[in-house]
């Protein structure tokens, strides 16, 4: 009896040691990290676990396939085929393009056109990343605004067809496709047995699980006024998605004014809503991507008004005058690290005429 007891104590000690060892190993585990250029942007992966390398390689292949189907610039993509046949017959598209077009229409409707899947003609004309961009004349902008009508896109999911009603109309998935791709990569990681990973597709970040030691990931929020990789603070999150739309990402300057790549489809001009950037946290990166574009166009108050009805969706809006507006649900999950006197944080828990109280400050 005594012998058995001693043996079981020894066994317990051995098990405890083994558990501690495994935990330590998990803490020390090094991730597989990669940087690639796909979908016109930098793709960073941080993947833990034995299948990390395979999963990361397959992820890049998957992204290249998505780019081939969804690109606005590649003449052979599904989206380009649709755009070329604008004003003509419906076209049959792959399931990915059909599904994403359909959901993009939903985001266009729910944001009342702040996110607008039909912004293509304006994006093409403003061509902010071209060698010699220019400011189009107002009459030209007005006619392009008329073309950017999401009501003219019809999608038949069962038949897998889509159609643009008028000649010259163009769908552009640029504001949502990277988020969608980030979700697709997380699904691929899961299928490969990965439990802990980050995928970042040009600022559309998908988080699988938490860090191997169980702590949340810390995701830097870019300082819009400084070089890439300088952060004003960070978000501590697990199993979530974060997308940032920023006027600093792609723009040109003319006549002392800055024109960014995010267009307000209602005016036809680059968005000018008082925001330097909008980061949206959501359960999926498709949602955070579409909504970050919409919030950037709408500005802080209307933008937060739009997202606050959606479960699990939160935002960090940085205004051009240095206020960081953080929605109440991120209290305790956002840490400001910018030096004193540069940025100040306001927590918003209700906006609009039915506001339950004033914005609180820190």
Q: Which residues bind Mg ion (CB under 5 A)?
A: 175, 289, 292-293
Q: Does 242 bind ligand AMP (CB under 6 A)?
A: no
Nearer to ligand AMP, 261 or 348 (CB): 261
Q: Which run of H or E residues covers position 298?
A: helix 285-298
Q: Does 288 bind ligand AMP (CB under 6 A)?
A: no
- For ligand AMP (CB under 6 A), the number of binding residues is 17
Q: Least distance to Mg ion from the beta carbon of 261, Å?
A: 11
Contacted entry of Mg ion, ligand AMP, none for residue 308, CB cut-off 5 to 8 Å set by kind: none
Q: Does 119 bind ligand AMP (CB under 6 A)?
A: yes
The torsion of the CA quartet 152, 158, 70, 140, rounded to 10 degrees, works out to -10
* Neighbour-count burial for 121-160, b at 16+ CB within 10 Å, e otherwise: bbbbbbebeeeebeebeeeebeebbebbbbebbebeeeeb
Q: Does 245 bind ligand AMP (CB under 6 A)?
A: yes
Q: Does 32 bind ligand AMP (CB under 6 A)?
A: no
Single residue of 123, 185, 291, 304 touching ligand AMP by CB under 6 A: 123
Q: Least distance to Mg ion from the beta carbon of 243, Å?
A: 6
Contacted entry of ligand AMP, Mg ion, none for residue 240, CB cut-off 5 to 8 Å set by kind: none
Contacted entry of ligand AMP, Mg ion, none for residue 71, CB cut-off 5 to 8 Å set by kind: none
Whether 273 contacts 306, CB under 8 Å = no
Contacted entry of ligand AMP, Mg ion, none for residue 317, CB cut-off 5 to 8 Å set by kind: none
Contacts of 214 (CB under 8 A, 6+ apart): none
Whether 197 contacts 189, CB under 8 Å = yes
Enumerate the β-bridge partners of residue 162: 91, 155
Q: Does 263 bind ligand AMP (CB under 6 A)?
A: yes
Q: Where are the alpha helices (DSSP H) in 127-269?
A: 138-147, 177-191
Positive/negative CA dihedral, 301, 333, 187, 73 = positive
- Torsion angles phi and psi, residue 112, rounded to 5: 55, 35
Enumerate the β-bridge partners of residue 314: 281
What would the two tokens of residue 167 be?
């000649």
Single residue of 121, 175, 212, 299 touching ligand AMP by CB under 6 A: 175
Q: Does 297 bind ligand AMP (CB under 6 A)?
A: yes
Residue 119 to residues 114, 147, 170, 188: CA-CA distances in angstroms? 10, 8, 7, 30
Q: Is 228 exposed, middle or buried (0-12, 13-18, 19+ CB in 10 A)?
A: exposed
Q: Does 71 bind ligand AMP (CB under 6 A)?
A: no
Q: Least distance to ligand AMP from the beta carbon of 222, Å?
A: 12
Nearer to ligand AMP, 235 or 263 (CB): 263
Nearer to ligand AMP, 98 or 298 (CB): 298
Nearer to ligand AMP, 174 or 212 (CB): 174
Contacted entry of Mg ion, ligand AMP, none for residue 268, CB cut-off 5 to 8 Å set by kind: none
Q: Least distance to ligand AMP from the beta carbon of 225, Å?
A: 18
What would the two tokens of residue 338 be?
């910018």
SS3 state at 347:
strand
Among 205-213, 258-266, 313-321, 344-352, which window interacts with ligand AMP (CB under 6 A)?
258-266
The CB density around residue 19, as the number of other CB atoms within 10 Å, is: 10
Nearer to ligand AMP, 46 or 108 (CB): 108
Instruction: Find, among 29, 160, 30, the residue nearest to 94 by Cα.
Output: 160
Single residue of 174, 212, 303, 305 touching ligand AMP by CB under 6 A: 174
Q: Does 293 bind ligand AMP (CB under 6 A)?
A: yes
Nearer to ligand AMP, 197 or 295 (CB): 295
Nearer to ligand AMP, 135 or 359 (CB): 135
């Amino acid at each position: 009896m005594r012998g058995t007891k001693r043996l079981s104590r020894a066994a317990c000690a051995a098990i405890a040691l083994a558990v501690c060892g495994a935990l330590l190993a998990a803490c020390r585990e090094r991730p597989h990290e990669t940087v690639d250029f796909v979908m016109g942007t930098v793709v960073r992966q941080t993947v833990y676990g034995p299948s990390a390398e395979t999963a990361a390689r397959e992820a890049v292949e998957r992204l290249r396939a998505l780019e081939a189907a969804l690109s606005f610039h590649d003449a052979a993509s599904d989206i380009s085929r649709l755009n070329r046949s604008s004003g003509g017959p419906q076209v049959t598209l792959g399931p990915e393009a059909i599904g994403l077009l359909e959901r993009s229409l939903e985001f266009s409707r729910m944001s009342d056109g702040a996110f607008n899947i039909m912004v293509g003609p304006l994006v093409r004309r403003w061509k902010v990343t071209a060698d010699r961009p220019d400011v189009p004349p107002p009459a030209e902008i007005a006619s392009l605004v008329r073309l950017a009508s999401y009501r003219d896109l019809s999608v038949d999911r069962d038949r897998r067809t889509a159609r643009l009603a008028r000649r010259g109309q163009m769908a552009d998935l640029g504001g949502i496709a990277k988020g969608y791709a980030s979700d697709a990569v997380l699904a691929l990681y899961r299928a490969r047995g990965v439990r802990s990973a980050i995928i970042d597709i040009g600022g559309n970040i998908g988080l699988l699980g938490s860090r191997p030691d169980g702590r949340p990931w810390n995701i830097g929020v870019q300082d819009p006024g400084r070089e890439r990789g300088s952060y004003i603070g960070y978000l501590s999150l697990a199993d979530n998605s974060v997308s940032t739309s920023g006027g600093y990402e792609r723009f040109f300057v003319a006549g002392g004014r800055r024109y960014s790549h995010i267009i307000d489809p209602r005016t036809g001009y680059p968005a000018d809503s008082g925001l330097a950037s909008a980061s949206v946290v959501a359960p999926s990166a498709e949602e955070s991507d579409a909504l970050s574009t919409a919030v950037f166009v709408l500005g802080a108050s209307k933008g937060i008004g739009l997202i606050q009805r959606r479960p699990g969706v939160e935002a960090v809006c940085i205004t051009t005058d240095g206020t960081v507006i953080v929605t109440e649900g991120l209290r305790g999950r956002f840490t400001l690290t910018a030096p004193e006197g540069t940025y100040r944080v306001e927590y918003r828990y209700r906006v609009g005429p039915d506001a339950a109280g004033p914005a609180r400050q820190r």
